[in-house]
Structure 1
Amino acid sequence: MNEKFSNETKLRSEAQAPFRVARQFLYASCALSATIGFGIATIQLLTGLAGAPNSPPFDQSVSNVGIDGACAALFVFLWKKDEEAKQKQMSRIGREERLGGLKVELTTGKIVRMQSLRGFSRVVLFAGDLEYLEKSLEVAEEYKDELIKKGVFLVPVAMDDEAATKLNKPDNAKKDERRFRGSAVNVSQKDGWRDWILEQKKMAKLGDDVGVYVGLRMDGRVRASGKGVAPFDRFAAELPPTDGGWGGMMDGFDGKVGVDN
């Protein structure tokens, strides 16, 4: 059964691949034309074999059948390849949209959806057990000043009860902490953080106990993901600084760090 996508997901898909509809229409039209030609050529070949008068030469009929059949197969293949790419892209966008609906608690106690952070921060979320989360926060702390300049905002996601209860909370009294870290909310509820993370792990064929990270662009699209501690050193070195720390009109086009997988 095909996955159902929202209208917003479909619109984002079309915006990211504006010529796909035209290509698919062209491929479908050519495939239909070639299929009709193949059918006509096949009939002519059969009537020629039956000895019908005024039928095209045998060699010409065979050639027409071969050419039209090959063209039909080619354009069907191209259409299916584009359709598969479309479905894959919409699946990715759908996952990003679901991620945008998940909730984060800021150090002030305010709860916002991830999509509210778009245009303001480059979220890096990482999910795992207590040891993994503490190690990730420790590494990120080494590059804290640079990461803040680059608009990086950390969201640790506790995947078990021990991590949820023992992980140190960000300190609202520290101004830089407010801009550097939040906390995932409603991790265990249905279609919450845990379900989203487990879906990503399943697609990547990773075990449930593996610590993973996902780095987002300012427009909410996934820039980089992987297992283990996120490459905070590369984020700090390669990401462009935000204008005034919290964004500018070109933040949605902030490129990518070359660690995508």
Structure 2
Amino acid sequence: MTRLLALLCTAAGLTHAFTAPRSSLVAARAGTQPTRTTQLAAAPDDEPELFGGYTAKQRMREEIESPFRKVRLIFFGASTGSALLALYFSILNVAKAATGFSNDIPLDEAVSSTAINVVAVLACAAITWNDYQAGEKNLERIAQGGRLAKLVVSPATAPTKRRTLTEYRRGNRVAICVGGEQYVQTLARSLSADQRADENTLAAQIDAVDLVVVPALVDASGAVNDAGACWRSTTADEGDRNFDLERSANVIAFPRGAQAWETYLKQELETARSQGFDPVEKGLVIVVKKNGRVLRRLTGQPPWSSLVGTMEVADGSKFGMPGDDERYMAKALKGDGAL
């Protein structure tokens, strides 16, 4: 009888285990058919940060770029500990030899052993520390690149539209021009007015190399202000003929989300100041390649002639971007009147 009861209990448990879960039935109103509801768990927008302020993906990318860094850290870290232990015993041997203990190694041999262990400790510790610091700098560079990709802008021709810089990858390069009010307005005049004897075609040249210009208005504290309002309030100076902001509107986009921009630009501004430049007064230009990486950093107003003329070769897109050959060929055919 006991065996029969145990068998029945086991069978009931297995039946319950292999029974599909019931869906909850919810009636919206009285007299209507009940509807099945399915609960979906929403994934978080951003990956949670791990220790040290970096995400798992960022750490994984750093490991891919430097696959043997952890091995070196473990090896030289353990070597440092081993050298410290040996140094401890060698110091004891020196103390014993100096006080005249019998059956111990000679004093000169103990001193030389101590010196060797000191050198080993310093060398292994220096290698471990330098490798660790290099890894931290690499992680910060990767994190900074992630912040750059998440920055949001709105094209001047579509103020209500929002685009992240990630959306410009493969299609456009980006030139972030950071500076104070005077800097931004000078940039606006250089792109929207005839300042030389001939017609200003900078906007067309910039568009031809798939470059988007993002003026970022900052103050001395590093706060990012409304660059769009500053840009639109620009007026023509003496010598600015045919000034019209619409002439450059197709290649201009304005920053959106001041906090994210301030977080990204904080490090860039600090680096510029540490090198003796005033980024608010003189300005800072950050050129981003089509693959999303920073090509170069410049101070002052952008050197459009050299920048535009060498852009295709400078960022390597003409030689290393898959799919560009067809696009360049289409441009050439269009220029020849074939299309």
Same fold (TM over 0.5): yes
Cα pair 2:185 2:230 within 8 Å, conserved: no
* Distance in 2 between residues matched to 1:38 and 1:250, nearest whole Å: 60
Other structure's SS at 1:53 match: coil
Q: CA deviation at 1:195?
A: 4.7
| Match runs of 1:89-108 below 5 Å | 89-106=138-155, 107-108=157-158
Considering only aligned residues, what root-mean-square deviation do their CA atoms show, in Å?
A: 3.4
* Distance in 1 between residues matched to 2:203 and 2:290, nearest whole Å: 18
1:230 equivalenced with 2:302 (yes/no): yes
* Distance in 2 between residues matched to 1:123 and 1:70, nearest whole Å: 50
Other structure's SS at 1:124 match: strand
1:124 equivalenced with 2:175 (yes/no): yes
Q: TM-score, normalised by structure 1?
A: 0.75
* Distance in 1 between residues matched to 2:209 and 2:66, nearest whole Å: 28
Q: In structure 1, give the amino acid aligned to 2:261.
A: W
| Match runs of 1:99-248 below 5 Å | 99-106=148-155, 107-108=157-158, 109-137=160-188, 139=190, 142-159=201-218, 163-168=227-232, 178=250, 180-187=251-258, 191-205=259-273, 207=278, 209-210=280-281, 211-240=283-312, 248=321
Other structure's SS at 1:219 match: coil
Determine what percentage of the aligned residue pairs are the same residue. Answer: 19
Assess, with a 3 A threshold, how the Cα gap between structure 1 residues 138 and 170 changes in structure 2: closer, same or farther: closer
Name which of structure 1's ranges 66-75 and 233-242 shifts more when overlaid on structure 2: 233-242
Assess, with a 3 A threshold, how the Cα gap between structure 1 residues 58 and 129 changes in structure 2: closer, same or farther: closer
Q: CA deviation at 1:138?
A: 5.1
The CA deviation string for residues 48-85 of structure 1, in whole angstroms up to 9 with x for no partner, is 22333332222211111101111111111121122222
* Distance in 1 between residues matched to 2:97 and 2:301, nearest whole Å: 70
Q: How many residues align?
A: 242
Cα pair 1:120 1:218 within 8 Å, conserved: yes
Cα pair 2:153 2:253 within 8 Å, conserved: yes
Ranges in structure 2 where 5+ consecutive residues have no aligned partner: 1-50, 192-199, 220-224, 233-243, 325-339
Name which of structure 1's ranges 58-67 and 112-121 shifts more when overlaid on structure 2: 112-121
**1:75 equivalent in structure 2:** 124
Q: CA deviation at 1:250?
A: 8.7
Q: CA deviation at 1:142?
A: 4.9
Q: In structure 2, give the amino acid aligned to 1:233.
A: S
Q: CA deviation at 1:228?
A: 1.2
Assess, with a 3 A threshold, how the Cα gap between structure 1 residues 163 and 153 changes in structure 2: closer, same or farther: closer
**1:29 equivalent in structure 2:** 78
The CA deviation string for residues 160-211 of structure 1, in whole angstroms up to 9 with x for no partner, is 768532414975xx9x965x33221133xxx232453344213432547332
Q: CA deviation at 1:221?
A: 2.4
The CA deviation string for residues 122-172 of structure 1, in whole angstroms up to 9 with x for no partner, is 21111223432243355567544554444322111233768532414975x
Q: Greater relative contact order: 1 or 2 (C-alpha under 8 angstroms, separation 6 or more)?
A: 1
Q: TM-score, normalised by structure 2?
A: 0.60
Name which of structure 1's ranges 63-72 and 24-33 shifts more when overlaid on structure 2: 24-33
Cα pair 1:139 1:232 within 8 Å, conserved: no
* Distance in 1 between residues matched to 2:127 and 2:305, nearest whole Å: 41
Other structure's SS at 1:71 match: helix
Other structure's SS at 1:240 match: helix
Q: CA deviation at 1:240?
A: 2.5
Assess, with a 3 A threshold, how the Cα gap between structure 1 residues 17 and 217 changes in structure 2: closer, same or farther: farther
* Distance in 1 between residues matched to 2:257 and 2:260, nearest whole Å: 6
Other structure's SS at 2:178 match: strand
